[in-house]
Structure formats: C-alpha cells, structure tokens
Structure 1
C-alpha cells in the first residue's frame, strides 16, 4: 500500500488541509472535490494511482479539515475558492499538473486552466459540468434563488443540506445501494453539521450562477487550447446529465468520454474502473 500523508499549509492566511501520495518526481495530478465532500472522496482512488503519479487532494476552504473562516472574514464565492487553490498549487510546488475535477471542483479547476493554460497537462472530469445541457431540472430550486435571492428562496435550499439528502446524493442511480460505503456521506454530514456551515453552503449555491455565466469562457479555453481531456461520468447523476459529458467533444474533438452505471459519486462504486481509465489515458 502507498504511504499517504495528511498535511496542512498556510495559503493567504488560511489553513488548507490536503492528502498527498506518490513520488514528488512523478507526473502531478491535482484532485478537486465537490459538494458536500472533501479530499476524503478520493480515498479509494489515490492508492490505485500513487505508484504512477504524485497526487494531492486539498479540502476547499470551508470544507473538510481546511479552515472554515467566518463569512465576514472570507467571501464564499467560486472566484475565491479558485484563487485559494491557485495559490495552494504555488505553495506546494505544483507548477505543471493534470487536474481531476468533480462537481464544485470543476468550476474551480476550470478557472485555474483559464488563468494558467500552460500549467495544465490534462483534465479528467468526473461529473464536472461546463455546459447548460448538462444541468438537470434538479437545479430548478437553485436557479430560482439566482433569479430572486429572497430569504424564502434561500431557505428553500436548506433541504439540500439535510443528512438524508446527502445519503440520497450518494445512492441515487446506484444499481446496488448496499455497495456504497457509509463512510463518505457520514463524514460529509459531520462537516455539514458544524455551526455556520449551512450559511456558507447557501452562499455557494447562490454563487454557482457565476459558474454558469463562465461556461462560454471555459468552452473557449477548450476550443483554443484543446487540452487532453477524459470524462468519466456516472450516467445516472441526478444533477449533471450525460449530454453535459458528451458536449466536451464539441469543443475538444479528441476528448474521451466514458460512462459508468452509477450515480453522482461515481468513485464510491467505480474507483477501480476510473483508476484504470486514468492510467490508460495518461499513459
């Protein structure tokens, strides 16, 4: 088994926690998690890749073991999340690297790629969207909040923060729900239950509109720079639909798209298959 290290580092005055494995001299792969998880979502993937790659999985600010500053000290926006992770890569010496993006990690990682196209060697997107057709009707309550940021529309989104909703996100679309370990969603619910975490997550729901507004910018980056691209997608995702995965090929004709019979958190059931696809893709 590879030796996995659990570290933290100061980035712009914030403590950012991360897990790391592999040789520092190996090709670098940055793993960016999504809502409502943290770097622990990669716990089954990292051991399968650490013999070939130098892997780092940070917890975004406000998530996991990273610092969760108060909202009057830190504005929870995707621009700010990306800025912190951009600085994080510089602090740990990631100068050229591939990125694995999932859910919230996608708009975070795509911002890095737009800002530093020369640093990105490849992109792996696991249910990480950049196209309007990839958004399901499950986004309708959040869209309503974008259009009218009233307190009533904000409060309506609290259902997304309930423990049973987290479990549903992990198990929906999985042919055998008993194959999903409770470890991931239990830890996510622990972090979501911290005082103040709910308001932070509601802020990010509201700011997700900024990601959709940037879709044309992300797509222009794809067309202009044609990064090596692999999409590994849970086809039964209730939030990010298969057409969103197929759409990458419109802007990157050589993009590889692979679907798995699972849901949103595809690594919970298909870590071995996704690891094998990455090993073949990155060669």
Structure 2
C-alpha cells in the first residue's frame, strides 16, 4: 500500500510540475531554486539597502566569532551559483549570498543603471546593512569580481579580504566571447533550447560539473532569460564596452587588503590572461590557476575553491582560522 501511495504521489507531483511549467514557469523556477537552497542548508532573507530590495541566502557560522563571507555573482548569474561552494564550506563562516540588484529575486528599477560603479555603491550599502560592526571577506565571480574589486578599492574599511574569481574588468587576451561583446553582441543570450546548451557549453568546461536542467525547469529558465534579454544587453554594453568597463582593473591597484585571485585555465569567457593582469595590479595577491576548469569555478571546482579560501583566510587571521573547525 505504501508503495502504491508513493507511486501515486510521484505521478501527481509530476503532473503538477508539468502544469506549473506550462502555465507558471517562473514559479517552477523559484521552486527549483528553493530546493537547491535547502540542499545547501541556507536560509532566505530580505532587506533594503541603497534604495533596492535585496533577496539573499544566508547561514550563520557555528562559531559566532567567525568571519562573514559575502559572495557576488556574475553577469546573468544569481545567488544560486554559489551554493556548491556554500555546501563545501559548511558552517565555518557566516555566509551572505545576495542576488545583486537587477538580478534574480532582487529589485530592478527601470530608470537605474547597473554597471560596475553603481553596483559597487550598492554593495557597500549592503555590507553596512549585513555587517555594520566589522569588515567582511568579499568574494566576487566574473562581473561580481569586477564589482568586488571596486568595493575593496573604494571602501577598504568594509572589506577585510577580497577574492576575485574569474573576474571581469580588465582587457584580457582576445577570445570569441570578448570579441562578440566588443562588437555589441550578447554571447550569453538564451532564447531557446539550443542557445541554452550553447550558453552552458561556454561557461562550463568540465562535462561532469555541467548542471543537468530537466524539462520543464529548462523551459522556465529559457522563459526568464527571454524576458531579461533587453536588460542583459544594456548591462553588458555598460560593463563590456562602456567607459567604466576597465575601471575595476584600473582601481585594483588601490587594493591593500589580503587578496586571492582564482581562475580556471580553460575559461572561455574571461581569458586566464586576466589573472596576470590583476596580479600585476595587486602584487601581494595569492594566485591559483585550476586545471580542467572553465569559467564557473564556484560550481566546477567548489571543493578546490573552498580549500583555497580556507587556507587564504587562515593565513591572514591573527591566531589562525578559528572558523575552520567545521
């Protein structure tokens, strides 16, 4: 009887998901993201900072004295990109993982700009809200890495350490992605199943790490990306070829905090030559180049990245890394 009930329940759930995917795809996508957050043992939170409503995932550390890590996602990304790293880190740190304003569940305003400079100001306000009494360890990936570089350079009192992971904001060696951006295109654009596959093939190198996106979740994701196409193009024009597109790299020379630079050697988005460009501007930074890894380092190599972050934070804290006792 139990087996029959379980089978019946799965059939009903499957039919419900099909109907939800057909008629309310965004709700289905939010449900999928909620399940991922639960798996990472993170909580959902909402706050207002810099005139925007932010939605973030967060988790307290076991040790109240542990540092707070704030993680900034990249272009077309969301807080969910960091969940594999959050799982690898466990509860060694206080974690705050926001959807940047304009992206994911956070607020987007039609008259606002969402380039590096504007987002850096907003992130500084967010940091004051989530950690008013002490500076944070700031991690940024891709576009989020460019934002993190600006925040560390402009607001040093709020950032104790900064990690730039496959960070945008420097003029790296030409590749297909960069040339397309300079030509005014969005090589990340997703409008159908074929372009979704192309997008995933661009950002991931390791086939084993590439996420499996079942139907109808893929349909829901495609629908969201279609709806965001105009916004994506405006942001990419701003950060990819606008007057502030190289500002993160230019201002990185002002970063004095302990820094970590991490890239995947097979990154087809932000060419690994960017690592040496940032290293030249932040000569005290620790560097790590991961073999067999593409652009999505936090998802492709979460364990290796977690180990690098743990060691780096431990080396830069007086008395060792108290938070490392999981």
TM band (smaller chain): 0.7 to 0.9
| Gap change, CA 1:8 and 1:259, over 3 Å in 2 | same
Is the Cα–Cα contact under 8 Å of residues 161 and 259 in structure 2 kept in the other structure?
yes
Moved more, 184-193 or 20-29: 184-193
Structure whose alpha-carbon radius of gyration is higher: 2
Q: Tell me whether 1:207 sits opposite 2:228 in the alignment.
A: no
When the two structures are aligned, how many residues end up with a matched partner? Answer: 266
Q: Which residue number in structure 2 is paired with residue 247 of structure 1?
A: 277
Structure 1: gaps spanning 5 or more residues: 146-155
Whole-Å separation in 2 of the counterparts to 1:183 and 1:25: 38
Q: Quote the offset at 1:109 in angstroms.
A: 1.3
| Gap change, CA 1:42 and 1:189, over 3 Å in 2 | farther
Counterparts of residues 170-189 of structure 1 (less than 5 Å): 170-172=200-202, 176-183=206-213, 186=218, 189=222
Question: Structure 1 length as normaliser, TM-score?
Answer: 0.82
Q: Which residue number in structure 1 is paired with residue 305 of structure 2?
A: 274
Is the Cα–Cα contact under 8 Å of residues 18 and 59 in structure 1 kept in the other structure?
yes
Q: Which residue number in structure 1 is paired with residue 317 of structure 2?
A: none
Whole-Å separation in 2 of the counterparts to 1:188 and 1:233: 27
Q: Which residue number in structure 1 is paired with residue 229 of structure 2?
A: 198
Is the Cα–Cα contact under 8 Å of residues 147 and 248 in structure 2 kept in the other structure?
no
Is the Cα–Cα contact under 8 Å of residues 171 and 246 in structure 2 kept in the other structure?
no
Q: Quote the offset at 1:175 in angstroms.
A: 5.5
Q: Tell me which of 181, 186, 199 is aligned to 1:157.
A: 186
Is the Cα–Cα contact under 8 Å of residues 32 and 105 in structure 1 kept in the other structure?
yes
Question: Structure 2 length as normaliser, TM-score?
Answer: 0.72
Structure 2: gaps spanning 5 or more residues: 1-38, 315-326
Whole-Å separation in 2 of the counterparts to 1:102 and 1:10: 23
Q: Which residue number in structure 2 is paired with residue 136 of structure 1?
A: 175
Deviations 1:58-107 (A, max 9, x none): 101221111233x2x32333322222222111122254011111111022
| Gap change, CA 1:276 and 1:170, over 3 Å in 2 | farther
